[in-house]
Amino acid sequence: MKTQNLYGAKKLLILLLLSTVGIAGCKKFLDINENPNNPDTATPSLLLPTVEAAIGQLVGNRFQIYGNIWAQYWTQNTTSSQYRSLEQYSVTNTAFDTDWLITYRNALQNAQLIINHSQPNSEHLKGMANILKAYTYQLATDAWGDIPLSEAVKGSQFASPRYEAQQVVYDSIFNYIDLGLALFNAENATAAGEQDLLFQGDIDQWRAFANTLKLRAYLRLSQVDPAKAQAGIAALYASNPTFLTTDARIAYTTTGGNDNPLYSEMVGLGYTQNLVASGTAVRQFNRNNDPRVMQVYVPVETNGALEDTIAYIPQGSYRENSGKRVSPPSALVAGNAANPSSAVAPVKLISTAESFFLQAEAGARGWSGGAADVTNLFNQGITASFAAYGIPEQAAAYISTAPDAQLTAGANNIRLIMTQKYYAMCGFQGFEAWTEWRRTGYPEFFVQSAASTLGAGRLPLRFLYPNTEITTNLNFPGSIPIYEPVWWDK
| Of 41 and 240, CB closest to other proteins | 41
Q: Which listed residue (101, 191, 224, 344) binds other proteins by CB under 8 A?
A: 101
Decide: is 294 part of the binding site for other proteins (CB under 8 A). Answer: no
Decide: is 120 part of the binding site for other proteins (CB under 8 A). Answer: no
CB of 329 to other proteins, least distance (A): 16
Query: How many angstroms separate the CA atoms of 292 and 426, rounded?
Result: 10
Decide: is 167 part of the binding site for other proteins (CB under 8 A). Answer: no
Restricting to residues 326-365, which ones interact with other proteins according to CB under 8 A? none
Rg (CA), the chain: 26
Contact string (CB under 8 A) for other proteins, positions 60-99, x = contact: -xx---------------------xx--x-xxxxx---x-
Query: How many angstroms separate the CA atoms of 296 and 276, rounded?
Result: 11
Query: First CA to last CA across the chain, in angstroms?
Result: 92
Residue 104 backbone dihedrals phi, psi, to 5 degrees: -85, -45
| Of 99 and 290, CB closest to other proteins | 99
Q: Which listed residue (75, 77, 110, 351) binds other proteins by CB under 8 A?
A: 110
Restricting to residues 258-287, which ones interact with other proteins according to CB under 8 A? 258-259, 261-269
| Of 119 and 406, CB closest to other proteins | 119
Decide: is 39 part of the binding site for other proteins (CB under 8 A). Answer: yes
Decide: is 160 part of the binding site for other proteins (CB under 8 A). Answer: yes
Whether residue 241 contacts residue 376, with contact meaning beta carbons closer than 8 Å, is answered with no
Half-sphere exposure of 58 (CA within 13 A, CB side): 30
Query: How many angstroms separate the CA atoms of 97 and 466, rounded?
Result: 5
Query: How many angstroms separate the CA atoms of 472 and 481, rounded?
Result: 20
Whether residue 310 contacts residue 294, with contact meaning beta carbons closer than 8 Å, is answered with yes
DSSP conformation class of 254: S
Restricting to residues 195-224, which ones interact with other proteins according to CB under 8 A? 195, 197
Decide: is 126 part of the binding site for other proteins (CB under 8 A). Answer: no
CA-wise closest residue to 130 among 87, 172, 100: 172
Number of residues near other proteins (by CB under 8 A): 87
Secondary structure element (H or E) that encloses residue 172, with its range:
helix 166-183
Q: Which listed residue (153, 229, 248, 276) binds other proteins by CB under 8 A?
A: 153
Q: Which listed residue (66, 70, 73, 100) binds other proteins by CB under 8 A?
A: 100
Restricting to residues 449-488, which ones interact with other proteins according to CB under 8 A? 453-456, 458, 466-474, 476, 478-479, 481
Whether residue 75 contacts residue 439, with contact meaning beta carbons closer than 8 Å, is answered with no
CB of 63 to other proteins, least distance (A): 11
CB of 447 to other proteins, least distance (A): 17
CB of 340 to other proteins, least distance (A): 14
Whether residue 47 contacts residue 192, with contact meaning beta carbons closer than 8 Å, is answered with no
Cis peptide before 443 (omega within 30 of 0): yes
| Of 289 and 453, CB closest to other proteins | 453
CB of 116 to other proteins, least distance (A): 11
CA dihedral defined by 87, 91, 94, 96, rounded to 10 degrees?
60
Decide: is 25 part of the binding site for other proteins (CB under 8 A). Answer: no
CB of 201 to other proteins, least distance (A): 12
CB of 477 to other proteins, least distance (A): 9
Query: How many angstroms separate the CA atoms of 202 and 401, rounded?
Result: 39
CA-wise closest residue to 127 among 43, 33, 207: 207
